[in-house]
Amino acid sequence: MASLKELKGRIVSVKSTQKITKAKQMVAAAKLRRAQAAAEAARPYAERLEKVVASLAGKVTGDSAPRLLAGTGKDDTHLLVVANGDKGLAGAFNANIVKAAVVKARELIAQGKTVKFYLVGRKGRAVIARTFPGMIVGEFDTTAVRTPGFDEAGAIAQDVSNRFFAGEFDVAHLFYSAFKSALAQIPTEQQIIPVKVPADAPASSGAAVEYEPDEEAILADLLPRNITIQLFKALLENQASEQGASMTAMDNATRNAGDLIKRLTIEYNRSRQAAITTELVEIIAGAEAL
């Protein structure tokens, strides 16, 4: 049984931890409002750009289609771009993204495909390196910036595109966490190369429409921009999801610390009462002996 001094030390230690988790919860809540606003503001533009690309892609076929749209003509090698955070204490935020990427990788390997990984952020690297040794072909370090933004998304898009044009892979998939609420962050997969045209994309109408410049020239400019925008949206979604997961995790930690303090306080009071009772018994027994 722990002594009174040990119990008192534990209570003080847990109270200190509770103060830290409470402070981190408040910081995450403040950052969440800004990150959520940024993520929600980026969604309409990213979704609209996808629709524009899909609309133009339906009018371009054959050899005239840009390579980012037509692809390499095969899907033997897949690149999984896994966007994680750089900090911990965010619950299962990073683990869920990595888990989704691992599941996809195993499905592709079971189909006889070659899988490669391109990792954004520091978290999750150890798990993927241990599970798929030798399959990490690229990493993008985001620790140098406070919050990854459009410049970082452009650099990632350029690096990935260069690898595609160099023939390192045929299809690229992006993994990130879509923000729904502080309690719900959904691991999401999105094919970014070649640009996936949805089955319900609007077909070309009978009306004669002339583009200046032509569709191929427009797509040649829009497709790289679309990849950058989709990556930028993913980074913003990740930031909001990370802050939401951190706020929830720190709230749970604060509550657990409070419960632990109550249990330790009860144990301390019982031990203290037992010690007092023992002393009284000894004093009374000594007095009667005299």
Q: Any idea which residue has 């790289």 for tokens?
A: 224
State whether residue 141 is helix, strand or coil: coil
- Residue 164 in this model has a pLDDT that exceeds 50: yes
Would you state the pLDDT for residue 61?
Answer: 62
The answer to whether the beta carbons of residues 214 and 64 sit under 8 Å apart is no
Domain ranges in the chain are: 4-21+250-289, 33-247
Q: What is the pLDDT of residue 1?
A: 61
Share of the chain above pLDDT 70, in %: 90
Average pLDDT rounded to a whole number, residues 116-133: 90
Torsion 176-194-148-159 (CA) sign: positive
Q: Per-residue pLDDT for 224 more than 60?
A: yes
Confidence of residue 206 (pLDDT cuts 50, 70, 90): very low
Q: Report d(CA 102, CA 88) in Å as an integer.
A: 20
Q: What is the pLDDT of residue 159?
A: 92
**Amino acid identity of 138?**
G
Q: Give residue-wise pLDDT tens across range 59-116.
A: 666 666 778 887 888 889 999 999 998 887 888 889 999 999 999 999 999 999 999 9
Sheet strand arrangement including 136-140: 136-140, 114-120, 77-83, 171-179, 185-193
pLDDT of residue 145: 77
Residue 5 three-state SS: helix
What are the strands, taking DSSP E only, across the chain? 77-83, 114-120, 136-140, 171-179, 185-193
Fold (topology level) of 33-247: Pyruvate Kinase; Chain: A, domain 1 (3.40.1380)
Alpha-carbon dihedral sign for residues 90, 93, 96, 101: negative
